Amino acid sequence: MTIEDLSQSGIRRIANYSPYLDQFSGLANDMGLRQRSNLVHLESCLNTEWSLGQNSILSWSPLDDGLLVLVVPHYAIAEYTATPASDPGMPQKVSARFITELISGERLLTLSQMQKVARLLEVEPRYIPLRQPLTNNSVETQIIEKMIRRYGINYVASRAVTLFDIVGFSLLTPFEQMTQLNSLSYSLNSAHAKMLELDVNINFARSSSGDGFYIWNRDQGIDANVNLYHFMHLVLADNAIARSKAKARSVPRLRACFHVGSCYEFHQAEGLNPTIHDFIVGDVTIELARMIEAAMPGQILVGDFMADLSDQFSDETDSQVNLDAVRFLQRAQQNLGKLSGLELSGERVTAIKCYLTGERLGAGEFNIRRLHIKDKHGLTRTAYNAKINIYRDTAQPILLGIEDKKIVAHD
């Protein structure tokens, strides 16, 4: 076999591979060979429609022995809601809210919905013939949903994200930078493993910020957001233990921020395919980036947010389905029973206390201080200073964050 034959063979193997069958391996194993082959064929067709990132796939709908997909140029989503520069008085083609709803949640549309959306966007749905009709079972639908999202963008109205930032990163040598990023990656993996051992599920994703990582839970809802907060303090605890043992500058000193807000999720092009791992950008990452600039070494800042509770109270009014940062932390404290039995550095954790700091009022009570942070653009935002105390059987407690008295000058 020639080198050219080997190369072509490799291309064929890649083209006949679908990463989503691996992600759903426990469920996809119940599929027949023909059904699995059908989905691999669909993955290849969607990749062709994506056209190296030139297009974005918005929605899909089953039709006869195949499915319809709504495909638009990658720049068109912004243009749909833009006012024409040549005629500012001309109304937008479609509303920004309509586009946001289209790229939020499920991408599966009924045939009638597909036709209406296509008319509004003035595009013709594209038909993809399959080797056999879809079965419409839930696993198959989940896999197709993930495929469609991989070749488009997704909007999430309420996503918890935490940002870990390495203090003094730019002053380190390249070797030290690599070592400290690797140490932080280990702390992320270690915290994840500890939560899984306690049956606390967190489907976390990461994206580099240059000096650290943005971390979020792919699962949505208030419980997923609370789990991410606990994940954050386990990462910080693992880092603190590692720092206490390190003799060289191999373990980073961290500062961290936590916030809940909206974001867009997408998959960057890597070579000739979009990445499997998703990336995020939006209000939540912008707020975190501005907050981290004001954070002191070792500090934990929590943004002033409203977390969405609509997944639990779908029949309530908007005013009743949002949880502010203060009540979110109260819920997180109540939720700490999930971590009972946790061990850190061989010592069993006896108690964990997470709280927002403030001034002493007397009689053992404290208020909660609102910090007003002014960024480099002159914009002001509100944040809170957070502390996390982890108590263990015989070892010294792990005290994360900084005391309120150290940040009075920043108020």
Tell me what the mean pLDDT of segment 297-315 comes to. 78
pLDDT value of residue 18: 56
Tell me what the mean pLDDT of segment 194-222 comes to. 90
When mean pLDDT is compared across 77-86, 214-223, 226-235, 365-374, the lowest value belongs to 77-86
pLDDT tens readout for residues 281-305: 999 999 999 999 999 999 999 999 9
Which has the higher per-residue pLDDT, 39 or 89? 39
Those residues with Cβ within 8 angstroms of residue 102's Cβ, 6 or more apart along the chain or in another chain: 58, 59, 117
Separation of alpha carbons 406 and 296, rounded Å? 9
Confidence of residue 181 (pLDDT cuts 50, 70, 90): very high
Token pair recorded at residue 198: 């306690």
Counting every residue, how long is the chain? 411
Counting residues of the chain whose pLDDT is more than 90, the rounded percentage is 52
Which of 330, 286, 289 lies closest to 307, judged by CA? 330
Q: Which residue has the tokens 């939560």?
A: 195
Confidence of residue 12 (pLDDT cuts 50, 70, 90): very low
Q: Do 262 and 274 form a contact (C-beta atoms < 8 A)?
A: no
pLDDT tens readout for residues 133-158: 998 888 899 899 989 999 999 999 99
For residue 16, pLDDT over 70 is answered with no
Those residues with Cβ within 8 angstroms of residue 174's Cβ, 6 or more apart along the chain or in another chain: none
Which has the higher per-residue pLDDT, 337 or 255? 255
Tell me what the mean pLDDT of segment 370-382 comes to. 87
Confidence of residue 23 (pLDDT cuts 50, 70, 90): low
Separation of alpha carbons 44 and 41, rounded Å? 5
Confidence of residue 192 (pLDDT cuts 50, 70, 90): very high
Tell me what the mean pLDDT of segment 265-275 comes to. 78
Confidence of residue 211 (pLDDT cuts 50, 70, 90): very high
Residue 206 region, left (φ>0) first, then alpha (ψ -120 to 50), else beta?
beta
Q: What is the DSSP string of 113-178?
A: HHHHHHHHHT-PPEEEE-SS-----HHHHHHHHHHHHHTSEEEEEEEEEEEEEETTGGGS-HHHHH
Q: For residue 311, how far is the Cα from the chain centroid? A: 17
Separation of alpha carbons 17 and 234, rounded Å? 36
What's the whole-number average pLDDT of the chain? 84
Q: Do 323 and 305 form a contact (C-beta atoms < 8 A)?
A: no
For residue 322, pLDDT over 80 is answered with no
pLDDT value of residue 285: 95
Rounded to a whole number of angstroms, the distance between the first and last alpha carbons of the chain is: 71
Number of Cβ atoms within 10 Å of the Cβ of 165: 24
pLDDT value of residue 106: 92
Separation of alpha carbons 348 and 343, rounded Å? 4
Confidence of residue 2 (pLDDT cuts 50, 70, 90): very low
When mean pLDDT is compared across 28-37, 117-126, 168-177, the lowest value belongs to 28-37
Token pair recorded at residue 260: 């809940």
Tell me what the mean pLDDT of segment 90-101 comes to. 80
What is the value of pTM for the model shown? 0.85
Q: Which residue has the tokens 């009570």?
A: 365
Q: Which domains does the chain have, with CATH numbers?
A: 13-151 (no CATH), 156-410 (3.30.70.1230)
pLDDT value of residue 190: 93
Phi first, then psi: give them for residue 129, nearest 5 degrees: -75, 140
For residue 310, pLDDT over 80 is answered with no
Which of 175, 180, 148, 144 lies closest to 164, judged by CA? 180
pLDDT value of residue 383: 94
Q: Do 131 and 177 form a contact (C-beta atoms < 8 A)?
A: no
For the chain, the helix, strand and coil percentages under 3-state DSSP, each to the nearest 5: 40, 30, 30
pLDDT tens readout for residues 344-367: 888 888 989 999 998 877 776 778
pLDDT value of residue 189: 93
- Which of 87-91, 166-170, 320-324, 401-405 shows the highest mean pLDDT? 166-170
Token pair recorded at residue 392: 């263990």
Pairing mode of beta strands 66-73, 55-63: antiparallel
pLDDT value of residue 248: 85
Q: Do 411 and 367 form a contact (C-beta atoms < 8 A)?
A: no
Separation of alpha carbons 174 and 155, rounded Å? 36
Which amino acid is it at 5?
D
